[in-house]
């Protein structure tokens, strides 16, 4: 890698839709270029209703970012439900 390499990660939360939007930008400019060129990636995740987006917690490490969301407290006592995996929605 030449020059300085950086990532910028933005997390957008849409509470009313229970949606998490990740915007990541990376510097892809060459060392001899004056202007910065950024490669952008946008991913949209819609969480199942049994997750509460307002409990989102992030942790940042040297080469990783973790995002955790807690389950909603079900006051109806529905018992054990099968765990559903988190799937990525269509990218906008």
The reply to whether 54 falls in a domain is: yes
Torsion angles phi and psi, residue 44, rounded to 5: -115, 125
The reply to whether 88 falls in a domain is: no
The reply to whether 73 falls in a domain is: no
Whether the CB-CB separation of 53 and 13 falls below 8 Å is answered with yes
What is the maximum alpha-carbon separation in the chain? 62
Segments of the chain with pLDDT less than 50: 1, 92
pLDDT of residue 29: 78
The reply to whether 90 falls in a domain is: no
The reply to whether 18 falls in a domain is: yes
The reply to whether 76 falls in a domain is: no
Domains held by the chain: number? 1
Does the global pTM surpass 0.75? no
Question: Any idea what the CATH number is for the domain that residue 47 is in?
Answer: 2.60.40.790
The reply to whether 45 falls in a domain is: yes
pLDDT of residue 92: 47
**What is the domain extent for residue 33?**
7-68
């Amino acid at each position: 890698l030449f020059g300085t390499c950086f990532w910028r990660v933005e997390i957008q939360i849409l509470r009313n839709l229970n949606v998490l939007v990740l915007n990541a930008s990376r510097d892809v400019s060459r060392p001899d270029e004056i202007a910065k060129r950024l490669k952008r990636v946008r991913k949209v995740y819609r969480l199942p209703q049994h997750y509460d987006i307002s409990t989102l917690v992030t942790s940042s490490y040297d080469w990783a970012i973790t995002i955790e969301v807690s389950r909603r407290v079900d006051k109806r006592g529905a018992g054990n439900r099968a765990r559903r995996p988190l799937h990525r929605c269509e990218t906008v």
